[in-house]
A and B are shown apart, each in its own frame.
Chain A
Amino acid sequence: MKFFVQQLTFGLTNGAIYALIALGYTMVYGIIELINFAHGDIFTVGGFFGLTVIGLIGLDRAPAALLVPGLVLVFAVAMGLNGLLGVVIERVAYRPLRNAPRLAPLITAVGMSFVLEGILFLIKGPNQISYPNLLPSGSVNLGFASMSLAAILIVVIAVALMVALSQFIRRTRIGRAMRATAQDRDAARLMGININRTIATTFFIGSALAAAGGIIYGFYFQTIAFDVGFRAGLIAFTAAVFGGIGNVVGASIGGFIIGIIIAMVSGYFQGGQQWSDVVVFSILILTLVFRPTGLLGMRVPEK
Chain B
Amino acid sequence: MKRPNARPPSRIIDRIRAFELRGLGAIGRGRNFPYLLLGIGLILFPILDPDSSHVNVAADAGHWILLALGLNIVVGYAGLLDLGYAAFFAIGSYAFAILASGQFNIHISFWVLLIASAFIAALFGVLLGAPTLRLRGDYLAIVTLGFGEIVPRVFRNASPITGGVNGIIGVDQPHLPPILGWNGNFGFNPVPYYYLILIILGVSIWLINNLRNSRLGRAWMAIREDEVAAAATGINTVTTKLLAFALGASFSGFAGTYYASKLFVVVPESFSFQAVSVVVLVMVVLGGMGNMRGVIVGAILIYFIQTYLLIQLPGWIDSAISALNIGFLTKLDISGYVQRSNYLIFGIILAGIMLLRPQGLIPSAQRKVELELGTSEEAVADLGSA
Contact = CB atoms under 8 A, between A and B. Distances in A.
- A–B contact with Cβ pairs below 8 Å: the answer is yes
7 contacts: A106-B81, A106-B141, A111-B352, A119-B344, A121-B340, A238-B146, A300-B384
A284 B146 contact: yes
B67 interface: no
Given A108-B355, A234-B145, A114 B135 contact: no
A35 B141 contact: yes
A108 B351 CA distance: 4
Contact of A118 (B135, B224, B228, B343): B343
Contact of A97 (B79, B150, B157, B354): B354
A27 to B, nearest CB: 15
A280 B132 CA distance: 16
Interface string A101-129: 11111111011111111110110011000
A301 B347 contact: no
Interface string A10-37: 0000000000000000000100011101
B172 interface: no
Contacts of B378: 99
A301 B134 CA distance: 10
Interface of B: 75, 79, 81, 83, 131-132, 134-139, 141-143, 145-147, 149-150, 153-154, 156-157, 224, 227-228, 273, 278, 281, 285, 289, 337, 340-352, 354-355, 358, 370-371, 374-375, 378, 384-385
A35 B370 contact: no
B358 A112 contact: no
B355 A284 contact: no
A237 B227 CA distance: 26
Nearest to A25: B142
A302 B138 contact: no
A289 B153 contact: no
Contacts of A113: 347
A265 interface: no
| Residue in A103, A118, A126, A280 with the greatest tally of chain B CB atoms within 10 Å | A103
Main secondary structure of the interface of B (DSSP, over half): helix
B350 A110 contact: yes
A192 to B, nearest CB: 22
Q: Is the interface of A mostly helix, strand, loop or mixed?
A: helix
Given A111-B352, A278-B150, A281-B147, 20 more contacts: A29-B138, A35-B142, A92-B355, A96-B355, A102-B137, A103-B81, A104-B371, A107-B351, A110-B141, A111-B351, A118-B346, A118-B347, A274-B157, A278-B154, A281-B149, A284-B142, A285-B146, A288-B132, A288-B135, A289-B132
A18 B239 CA distance: 36
Nearest to A119: B344
B135 A302 contact: yes
B371 A100 contact: yes
A223 B351 CA distance: 29
Nearest to B376: A99
B301 to A, nearest CB: 17
Nearest to B343: A118
B265 to A, nearest CB: 22
A50 to B, nearest CB: 22
A275 interface: yes
Contacts of A271: 157
Contacts of B142: 35, 234, 237, 284
Nearest to A227: B274
Interface residues of A, number: 54
A101 B371 contact: yes
Given A125-B340, A278-B154, A284-B146, A93 B384 contact: no
Contacts of A110: 83, 141, 278, 281, 350
A303 interface: yes
A292 interface: yes
Most buried by A among B138, B224, B227, B285: B138
B135 A301 contact: yes
Contacts of A280: 146
B141 A117 contact: no
A301 B136 CA distance: 6
A277 interface: yes
Output the residue of A230, A271, A275, A288 with the most chain B CB within 10 A: A288
A97 B355 contact: yes
Given A275-B157, A302-B136, A117 B343 contact: yes
Given A122-B341, A274-B157, A302-B134, A114 B350 contact: yes
A108 B131 CA distance: 26
A126 B340 contact: yes
A241 B281 CA distance: 25
Nearest to A109: B351
B139 A288 contact: yes
A133 B375 CA distance: 50
A103 to B, nearest CB: 6
Nearest to B273: A230
Contacts of A126: 340
A237 B343 CA distance: 22
Contacts of B375: 99-101
Contacts of A104: 354, 358, 371
Contacts of A100: 354, 358, 371, 374-375
Contacts of B374: 99-100
Contact of B348 (A115, A125, A277, A288): A115
B347 A117 contact: yes
Contacts of B156: 274
Q: 9 nearest interchain CB pairs? A: A118-B344, A114-B347, A111-B350, A111-B351, A115-B347, A118-B343, A35-B138, A281-B146, A108-B354
Nearest to B231: A303
Interface string A250-277: 0000000000000000000001001101
Nearest to A271: B157
